[in-house]
Amino acid sequence: MAPIAVHARLRVYPRPFGKSRSKRGAGLDRGGLSADSLAVSMSDISLSICGHAWHGKSTLLGKIVAESGMASQREVERARRQAKEGRDPSLVFAQLVFRSKDVTEKHSEANRGVTILPSMVRFPFDNHRITVIDTPGQETYANNRFFGMFQADCALVVVDVNDGPQPITQQVIRILKGFEIPIQAIVLTKMDRVEYREEPFRETEELVRLLCEEHGVSLENTAFIPTSAYAPGRDIYEPGEGILGFQHCDWYDGPSVWGLFEKINYERIRPSGLPTRVVIHGSEVYDNVPGIGKTATALVEAGTVEPEMTLQFEPLSAEKGSPVTARVRSIQLTRGHIATPGIPLSEAKPRQLVGLAFKNANFKESLRELFRGRGVIAGSTSNPPTAATRMIVELTIFDPDTVLKQGEVWTMHVHVDRAAICLDNVLMKRLAGSDEWIEPSEQVVYPQEWGRIEITASNRPVAIEEADTLPQLSKFVIRAGKKAVAYGRCIKILE
């Protein structure tokens, strides 16, 4: 089944890969409902694509964009040219989802051929929408990877069938386990390089299963899918393997990636009655959108947002010592990175990726410059987000070579933010395999142990919430140097 067209400007391949649609923007009503009505009423699911660098995450997502009819032939041809200018023809589909399309920019994603910022693409179906978040695989951009993972209801882990699980593969599996994000599928890519044979697929599948078993990750409801989004010499208009269907892996009887998206039924439990919390995407903040003005892309994590609502931004308000606010002019349900107009909303609900237009800001600075270098959470002025400088956290060290010691300074990654923290005091410990908290005999936490620790944000406040109040904004990952070593949650804000 093809996805529902949610806007008249949704573009379709003149040479469609999958089932063709006879009209541009076809499917404008289902059972008497307009596409806009369906788009607003459907449930939203966020799925994060995670994995090691160069295992084909962006190429996979770009191929899905192409084959599902979300990109025109002109856009694909432009992506082909950009891939050549980027000196790697295998990037032709990745170019469709990279944030920067300007290959003349030295550090752009298109020119470098690597994912830097999480790219988001929304696919609507009959009863649900999936916002797919493509996360960076390189450790250099770990903060952006964690941000993409923090937003997810569920995950799809990509593994090169030749390379098997790599260090970042292990890292994301540990973090998905710690944040209780279920893995919907393990996608084994580049099957063309093993001639679509079953034996290499099963060997890599077993390695992944052993890795997940080692970290206590259940794969009971997880599909393993063989794919090949790109192959040297293959025409870009030829269907990929495992995207919409299968041409070569006749030994495989599971779903394609599109079939998985179509049948997915997971939805995170969303507690009601929570205060409004909106995570601002710092990379998509603009000051002068023609006819609109200041805008930002944001994910509603809790509560609701309506036009004319005044939002307060943290930790900016805490840093300035007075509220930093702006009123919401309008809201649109976005389609993620694909350049298709959004749908106007009268109310934004949890897990919806929206575009917010602002007015009546009480600051003169550029919105982009004001938000630069920090993660920003918005909430109502009557119940604003919490900004903390001292807090008590519970964390566990998953890196076998790392030991936590009092007085060390590490990096905390929380939602869209990262900040230096000092480990002040180990209050309690829980030994590996134990459920009992005990007083520590030394100010040290070893791998596989849990520590209840008092920490201080070293350079500025951090917008974070207590786990009992807003668990989705209490979680964090800790890095020591260039390596992720621990994860945890904030349990009490001290100041």
Could you tell me which residues come within 8 angstroms of residue 329 by beta carbon, excluding any fewer than 6 positions away? Answer: 292, 293, 307, 357, 358, 359
In the three-class reduction of DSSP (H, G, I as helix; E, B as strand; rest coil), residue 240 is classed as coil
Count of other CB atoms within 10 angstroms of residue 328:
21
Q: What is the mean pLDDT of residues 204-218?
A: 92
The answer on pLDDT for 320 being more than 60 is: yes
The answer on pLDDT for 454 being more than 90 is: yes
**pLDDT tens digits, residue range 470-481?**
888 898 888 887
In the DSSP assignment, the letter for residue 6 is -
- CA angle, residues 151, 483, 97, in degrees to nearest 5: 40
Q: What is the mean pLDDT of residues 280-292?
A: 79
CA 331 to chain CA centroid, Å, is 21
Q: What is the mean pLDDT of residues 411-424?
A: 87
Instruction: Return the structure tokens found at 32.
Output: 């008497």
**pLDDT tens digits, residue range 30-79?**
333 344 444 455 677 889 899 988 788 888 998 998 998 888 888 888 88
- The chain-wide mean pLDDT, for the chain, equals 81
Site of tokens 């856009």: 75
Q: What is the mean pLDDT of residues 275-304?
A: 85
- Give the gyration radius of the chain's Cα atoms: 23
- Is 99 or 460 the better-scoring residue by pLDDT? 460
The predicted structure's pLDDT at residue 137: 55
The predicted structure's pLDDT at residue 270: 65
The answer on pLDDT for 12 being more than 70 is: no
In the three-class reduction of DSSP (H, G, I as helix; E, B as strand; rest coil), residue 89 is classed as helix
Domains, the chain, with CATH or none: 29-263 (3.40.50.300), 277-380 (2.40.30.10), 387-493 (2.40.30.10)
Q: What is the mean pLDDT of residues 113-125?
A: 69
Q: How far apart are CA 71 and CA 88, in angstroms?
A: 20
Task: Determine which of 217-221, 270-274, 346-350 has the lowest per-residue pLDDT on average.
Answer: 270-274
- Report for 93-97, 153-157, 233-237: range of highest mean pLDDT: 153-157
- Report for 25-34, 36-45, 281-290, 357-366: range of highest mean pLDDT: 357-366
223-226 and 183-189: which strand pairing?
Answer: parallel
Instruction: Return the structure tokens found at 140.
Output: 């250099």
This prediction has a pTM of 0.78
Confidence of residue 23 (pLDDT cuts 50, 70, 90): very low
The predicted structure's pLDDT at residue 27: 30
Q: How far apart are CA 94 and CA 80, in angstroms?
A: 10
Confidence of residue 3 (pLDDT cuts 50, 70, 90): very low
The answer on pLDDT for 294 being more than 80 is: yes
The answer on pLDDT for 450 being more than 80 is: yes
The answer on pLDDT for 455 being more than 60 is: yes
The predicted structure's pLDDT at residue 138: 59
325-333 and 353-359: which strand pairing?
Answer: antiparallel
Percentage of residues in the chain having pLDDT higher than 90: 38
Beta strands in 14-103, from DSSP E residues, in sequence order? 29-30, 33-34, 43-51
The answer on pLDDT for 106 being more than 80 is: no
**pLDDT tens digits, residue range 242-267?**
999 999 999 999 999 999 999 886 66
The predicted structure's pLDDT at residue 267: 60
The answer on pLDDT for 161 being more than 90 is: yes
Count of other CB atoms within 10 angstroms of residue 310:
16
Q: What is the mean pLDDT of residues 406-433?
A: 89
- Is 150 or 469 the better-scoring residue by pLDDT? 469
Q: What is the mean pLDDT of residues 489-495?
A: 94
Q: What is the mean pLDDT of residues 212-218?
A: 88
Least Cα distance to 69 among 150, 1, 132 occurs for: 1
Task: Determine which of 149-153, 319-323, 425-429 has the lowest per-residue pLDDT on average.
Answer: 149-153
